[in-house]
Amino acid sequence: MNGKSTLISEARISRGFQKVIASVVGMLCVFIIVTSIPSGVLLISGGLVAVIALLTVSVLRIRVTVEATEQSLTVRCRPFYSRAIPLEDVVDASPAPSSSMTEGFGVRYLGQRTWGLLVGGPAIVLETPGRTWLISTPDPESTAASVLAHAGKLKDI
């Protein structure tokens, strides 16, 4: 990234969703261990539980950020994905309906050239010539206005 970066937005999976996911995964791990004891595959099952736990921790730590420099907008779904979008490619940014657990978390292809960087909750729609982005953000109105201001395309209200 060139120059000074300004953080426009950062969104995380809500505590409520984190608790639900952790509870379900925890019950699954207990079930795997309990059912593996009589079958004699405890070591293999223990390894599987460790992998599931590591993946779950990675998912629960996902953060979606939007940052701006003088030349570009960087959208990230940390720790997995990062994309720089030249400011001249920003066509529009506007608040979107809230995403939910049904859309999932992380980087998602949503169809019709639309990609989501999602953690659930409020979001913005960011339009570029090549694709449309659905990006989770705690304050869609402020984030959309800030993106447009950085792109020099702030709408008159």
Mean pLDDT value across residues 86-93: 95
Per-residue pLDDT tens digits for 9-51: 999 998 988 999 999 999 999 999 999 988 888 889 999 999 9
Nearest alpha-carbon partner for 66 in 154, 152, 139, 156:
139
DSSP string, 22-69: HHHHHHHHHHHHHHHHHHT-HHHHHHHHHHHHHHHHHHHT-EEEEEE-
Per-position DSSP letters for 81-136, written without gaps between them: EEEEEEGGG--EEEEEEEE-TTT-SEEEEEETTEEEEE-SEEEEEEE-SS-EEEEE
Structural domains in the chain (count): 1
pLDDT at 154: 61
Q: Which residue has the tokens 């859309």?
A: 103
For residue 143, pLDDT over 70 is answered with: yes
Q: Identify the top-confidence range among 38-42, 99-103, 139-143.
A: 139-143
Total-model pTM: 0.81
Reply yes or no on whether the pLDDT at 1 is more than 50: no
Domain that holds residue 32: 1-157
